[in-house]
Amino acid sequence: MKTELNIKKDLIKDIMNTFTLDEAVFLIYRLAVLKKDAVQSGQKYSITQIGHICGVLTLNDQIEIVIKFHDEMRQFTKEEFYAQVKLIDE
């Protein structure tokens, strides 16, 4: 399953480029890892590295994604999500 979302390609980051509700809901129940924890191809992720997208919230008129990892729960704006998170496609 490939995810194609509406992402601006501008070099200047637009702070108002937020998730739409459809984009956020489409990502629910997908598996994700932090890019800093990404492994080489052919290697497997540890269960403690994998998180699942478990929710969507609205904060200050901005839709954010909630990811539950083994030891923490984090929320990401669209900009943070694409900078820090990698989806695991199976």
Which tens digit of pLDDT belongs to each residue from 33-87? 999 987 777 788 889 999 999 999 998 889 999 999 999 999 999 999 999 999 9
Q: What span, in angstroms and rounded, lies between the C-alpha atoms of 86 and 24?
A: 15
pLDDT for the residue 61: 85
Q: What span, in angstroms and rounded, lies between the C-alpha atoms of 74 and 82?
A: 14
- pLDDT for 7 beyond 60: no
User: If you average pLDDT over residues 2-21, what whole number do you get?
Assistant: 60
User: If you average pLDDT over residues 11-28, what whole number do you get?
Assistant: 77
Q: What span, in angstroms and rounded, lies between the C-alpha atoms of 70 and 5?
A: 27
pLDDT for the residue 11: 34
The pair of structure tokens assigned to 59 is 């904060």
Got the DSSP string for 14-76?
-TT----HHHHHHTTT-EEEEGGG---TT----TTT-EEEEEEEEETTEEEEEEE-SS-EEEE
User: If you average pLDDT over residues 20-38, what whole number do you get?
Assistant: 92
